[in-house]
Amino acid sequence: MSIESLEKRLVAVLEANQILRNEPMARHTTFKVGGPADLFVAPSSVDEVCACVAAAQEEDVPWRMLGAGSNVLVSDEGVRGVVIH
């Protein structure tokens, strides 16, 4: 698993403001709890979502999808891998 390698690949697909390192998940859940995600990305199209998932799988980085963040509890330890929002 290489977050750095994945981040470099995603820079070619997403804008810099769509990629966040160590983003507190409390900012993205209605319960306002949760530690940082290793990598948090906010693609703006279906093609970008597909590219993020494909890159994560190829880099062997675990990925999670996050919708509106309601009814989601995230550990204070955070999320290993990438969260696609």
What percent of the chain shows pLDDT beyond 70? 100
The token pair at 61 is 């980085």
> What CATH code is carried by the domain that includes residue 75?
3.30.43.10
Write the pLDDT tens digit of every residue in 17-30: 999 999 999 999 99
Integer Cα distance of 68 and 54 in angstroms: 22
Q: How many residues does the chain have?
A: 85
Computed over every residue of the chain, the mean pLDDT equals 96
Residue-range definition of the domain harbouring residue 53: 3-84
How many domains are there within the chain?
A: 1
pLDDT at residue 11 tops 80: yes
Max Cα-Cα span within the chain: 33
Q: Is 23 helix (H, G, I), strand (E, B) or coil?
A: strand
Q: Identify the pLDDT of residue 28.
A: 97
